[in-house]
Structure 1
Amino acid sequence: MDSETPAGGPGRDLTPARRAGGPRTRVQIPGRTAPQVTSWFRAGFALSVGALLAWHLADAVLQLTSLLTLLLLAVFIAVSLEPVVAWLERQGLRRAWSVALVVVGLAVLLTALLAVVVPPVGTEVSALVGAVPGWLQQLHDHQSTLGRIEDHYHLVERAKEQLGQGGFGSGAFGGVLGAGQLLLSTVTSTVIVVSVALYVMAALPVIKAFCYRFVPRSRRQEVEEITEEILARTGRYMLGNVLTSAVAGLATFAWCAAAGVPYAGALGVFVALMDLVPMVGSTIGGVVVSLVALSVSLPVALATAGFYIAFRLLEDYLIMPRAMKFVVDVHPVVTVVAVLLGGALLGLVGALVAVPAAVALGLVLDAYVFPRTDNA
């Protein structure tokens, strides 16, 4: 045996580390790839963790839906009032004073609306409370309608049983608790919307400048132009919508006052608010007013329904086109679909912002999508 040949046989060369008893090293043989070990446990664990995180993220978004809706409403209000604020700035006022003047004007308008709506509601509640003793007296009168109903169904006895078992008390407590929660939720939502709207109105130029910085400089001017056009059209649309809603409210007040329908002022405010929702708002308002007119007589209710049909035609073909001239350019079918989708997704707020969203989508398509498809 050759003295230079390793003990393991010819062709085997032991490294110094191997001869010294060190750790073995894997030798990569040319033409072969290293074996890859697939860890199914690792892949399954990664997929499970990803699915769990995605589920928690979706659940968090769903829980924040109400808050996101309030924020969207606040931003929409601020954008809708921007034309008024900008006009006051062009008159020489600083932005802070312009925003303050707009807020004061809205507060005065809201106070006037409450002054119109609250007295009829208070009168109704007072009339209801005053009618309770008479109803209790009629329950013991066997000749009256309530007395015959009491003789047949024994409502007083059943009410006493519920009071004795605590069912009525717990139900009343639940109703009071639910009313308190509703009141607290309404106040909280109002504070959130007003606070965010005020902040956005005051800082809108700063917010826009900050958002534009995320766009590359080469395309920033184009994005600024399309964004300003969307905001301008949204503001003009809302001002036109408010104008048509005011006309609908005044027309309702005049008709109810002339026809003797009760609470003409409150119904006028209700119709004006409902008319802010495109396509369906005025119809809902007309149905409600027609039902209230039934308290007068059936002919008055039918005449009220006919009045709203005529007014809806007048609004769709005369008032709305003149108020919305050069404001939006959206096909009526697109408007209907947008309102339905917005209402299904976000309720009343979604229906309110549906048309401006459709306008924004149309401008984006005209600016970025259609030129590429036409030149392809």
Structure 2
Amino acid sequence: MSSTTTPGGPRSDATPDPNPEPTPDPAPLVVDGSALGPPGARFDQQSAFLRGLAGACGVAVVAAVAWLVIQVGSELILVGLALFIAVGLEPAVGWLRRRRFPRALAVTVVLVLAFGSVAGFLATAIPVAVAQATQAAAALPAFLASPAGQSSVLGRLEGRFHLEQVLEQAATADNGATVLGAGEAVVGGVASTVIVVALVVYFLADLPRLRRTAARLVPASRRTRATLLGDEILAKVGGYVLGSLLLALIAGTSTLVLLLILGLSYAVLLAVLVALLDLVPVIGSILGGLVVTAVALGSSVPAAIATAIFFVAYRLVEDYVLLPRIIGRTVDVPALITLVAVVLGAALLGPVGAIVAIPLAAAALLLVREVVIPYFDRT
């Protein structure tokens, strides 16, 4: 029995076609240049339901972000510190890029020099500083028992608060817990250092892409101005970081030379301490000078006087000669705002907060001057 095929009609043979033609995939629906179609009409933003829903969602998002910040606060500090260091190294990468270095090579050179310098400094200074600290701890009881030690500031503190006895009790109270706590602190410090170093590498390598992505989050009508403001903020942070490191190096080196000339003990340990404290704005060099002067007083009164005069003179030179020339007008923050920013930063984040307070204050002042004040002038 055979079947017939009507013109234009479907095939009605009982036997299927052995070589059927493949059916092409349906083409995607393209409307207005988008494969997913144009966006629909806007919702009525004056709707009470939508306004209430938006308010509730906003409160929930703020609460969730606050909870998240509290839960991962220490990790966020590490991320922020790594980003701060990467932004600080970016001017060096830009300097190499202007000399036709590929970015990958420029980043590699800067990272090798930066981490190599830090590792070399630590490898040289830490063994000497540890040896001198151990020597100072061993010599402390004899010094406190001597007439000169009893008449010193440290001796008077010992006589009033019995510091040596308190330290001995703390060291012998629970040796197992002490060793375990010290081991946990060392492991935590090493882990934090590795995390910061890894983040610095990734941030510095991807910083241009991060800047472009951040710019895409700004409306197109304001994107150019936002990009320029962001570049200016990054320039301020980068200039401040490099300038602060150079000032700390100068402070530590000059202190080491002074202590070697005076023949005082623990010169390397005190020089490293002064360099680290000099990274803290406003009060860092003052604290370093007080510590070194107190140690020099234990040696002789003339050495203490010479040390005090040196640190007063160095503070004046740093404030009026080195700081304007090295950092210049990159970070131009009034003295009152500087002091307030350092105090608040130290209260919130400790030494890290004090170090990053000034560039953050400079960025905030830039935004106030370029965004907030013009807005109020127009209204």
Answer yes or no: same fold by TM over 0.5.
yes
Partner of 2:110: 102
Change in 2 beyond 3 A, CA 1:129/1:66: closer
Whether 1:65 and 2:65 are equivalent positions in the alignment is no
The answer to whether the Cα contact below 8 Å between 1:116 and 1:266 also exists between their aligned partners in 2 is no
Whether 1:368 and 2:376 are equivalent positions in the alignment is no
Amino acid at match of 1:61: V
Offset of residue 122 of structure 1:
4.4
Aligned-residue CA RMSD in angstroms? 2.9
Whether 1:77 and 2:80 are equivalent positions in the alignment is no
Amino acid at match of 2:311: Y
Whether 1:206 and 2:214 are equivalent positions in the alignment is no
Partner of 1:225: 228
CA distance in 1, matches of 2:61, 2:202: 33
The answer to whether the Cα contact below 8 Å between 2:86 and 2:200 also exists between their aligned partners in 1 is yes
Partner of 1:296: 299
Give me the identity figure in percent. Answer: 42
Offset of residue 333 of structure 1:
0.9
* Unaligned segments of structure 1, at least 5 residues: 1-46, 135-158
Whether 1:359 and 2:368 are equivalent positions in the alignment is no
The answer to whether the Cα contact below 8 Å between 2:128 and 2:269 also exists between their aligned partners in 1 is yes
Return 285-294 or 52-61, whichever deviates more. 52-61
CA distance in 2, matches of 1:201, 1:257: 39
* 1:1-376 correspondence runs (5 A): 58-124=66-132, 127=135, 171-376=174-379
CA distance in 1, matches of 2:211, 2:101: 20
Change in 2 beyond 3 A, CA 1:125/1:273: closer
CA distance in 1, matches of 2:266, 2:172: 34
Amino acid at match of 2:283: V
Offset of residue 269 of structure 1:
2.6
CA distance in 1, matches of 2:61, 2:247: 48
CA distance in 2, matches of 1:311, 1:247: 10
CA distance in 2, matches of 1:240, 1:168: 40
CA distance in 2, matches of 1:346, 1:268: 25
* Unaligned segments of structure 2, at least 5 residues: 1-55, 143-167
Offset of residue 129 of structure 1:
10
Larger Rg: 1
CA distance in 1, matches of 2:330, 2:278: 18
Return 104-113 or 66-75, whichever deviates more. 104-113
Equivalenced residues, count: 297
TM-score by length of 2: 0.71
The answer to whether the Cα contact below 8 Å between 1:260 and 1:296 also exists between their aligned partners in 2 is no
Offset of residue 112 of structure 1:
2.8
TM-score by length of 1: 0.72
Amino acid at match of 2:85: I
The answer to whether the Cα contact below 8 Å between 1:116 and 1:265 also exists between their aligned partners in 2 is no
